[in-house]
Amino acid sequence: MKKPNDNTEKLQKVLANFGHGSRREIEAMIVAKKISVDGKIATLGDRIDIRNQPKIRINGNVITVRPKDKDVCRVLAYYKPEGEICSKTDPNGRATVFTNLPKVKNSRWINIGRLDINTSGLLLFTTDGELANRLMHPRNEVEREYVVRVFGQVTDAQIFQLKKGIQLEDGPAAFKSIKSQGGEGLNKWFNVTITEGRNREVRRMWEAVGVQVSRLLRVRYGNISLPKWLSRGTWTELDLNAVNYLRELVHLSTEEKSFLSVEQQKSKPKRIQAKRPIVNLKSNKR
């Protein structure tokens, strides 16, 4: 337990908050001995006080973790097209989701979860590492809704199995909800909801019951919906109401101001509708 007047934080939490990966990813790097603090190889459980300006290296590269004034929390909704990957760079030269995002000063965009290269739809980005980590953590059970096109007939028994739960290689999984949306011929459409964000989870669940997914689109994260007017490869910035909805969802303090101008805020609804998707966003195309 953290002691009173203890200004240290776990190393993985600090690095995650500065956008150097998720806590799990950073823990894996610590175990692999890829991180050092003041010349010593880091170990799990290490704590640091950033006011002391420790010299941290990741893969031999020095990173900056100096204290700074609190920035306004920003969140973007991005319409990821198929063919883009959720990494900042790719040795194979593939397009990444970060290419079309706006530049930020003294900060960086952190993706809230991932979508695989063949999946399109809503991908959220934030400048707040703690918000990103909490929204991704399974214990918070934040809903993710997908539209799925599958090939072939789907039986009632398969639907029941997907609702009840199936065993994947990384543990049990089940859809929180699954609704048929019809279709033509052998192409059938479904809306499904999950509360975790494991790698290719939706595809693997369908495959586990012998069904092939031919298209996958994420349309909602929490109560933030993919705006119908947003084009593939473009983004929109969430307003203060939407940002605070996400923060309250994972028990973080609310923000008092937004990066968006007062003029932009005036046309926005003033209250969050807790049971309805939030689509009161303004597009910024690039």
- Mean pLDDT for 71-95 is 90
- Give 24's pLDDT tier (boundaries 50, 70, 90): confident
CATH of 143-221 given 3.80.30.20, 3.40.50.620, 3.20.20.70, 3.30.2350.10? 3.30.2350.10
DSSP-derived letter for residue 50 is: G
Residue type present at position 161: Q
Helix (H, G, I), strand (E, B) or coil at 218: strand
CATH number for the region 75-138+223-284 comes to 3.30.2350.10
Taking 50 as the threshold, does the pLDDT of residue 270 lie above it? no
Single out the residue of 120, 143, 138, 136 nearest to residue 192, CA to CA.
143
Of the candidates 6, 46, 116, 170, the residue annotated as catalytic is 116
Three-state secondary structure readout of 157-200: HHHHHHHHCEEECCEEECCCEEEEEEEECCEEEEEEEECCCCCC
CATH topology of domain 9-63: 3.10.290
What are the phi and psi torsion angles at 174 (to 5°)? Answer: -155, 150
Reported pTM:
0.73
Q: In b/e form, how buried is each residue of 161-197, taking b as 16+ CB within 10 angstroms?
A: bbeeebeeeeeebebeebeeeeeeeeebebbbebebb
Q: Quick check: is 116 catalytic? A: yes
Give pLDDT, residue 2: 53
CA atoms within 13 Å, Cβ hemisphere of 31: 6
Give pLDDT, residue 102: 92
More confident call, 234 vs 272: 234
Q: Collect all residues with Cβ–Cβ distance below 8 Å to 44 and sequence separation of at least 6.
A: 12, 27, 30, 31
- Name the segment(s) of the chain with CATH classification 3.30.2350.10: 75-138+223-284, 143-221
pLDDT tens track for 192-209: 999 988 889 999 999 999
Give pLDDT, residue 169: 92
Residue type present at position 159: I
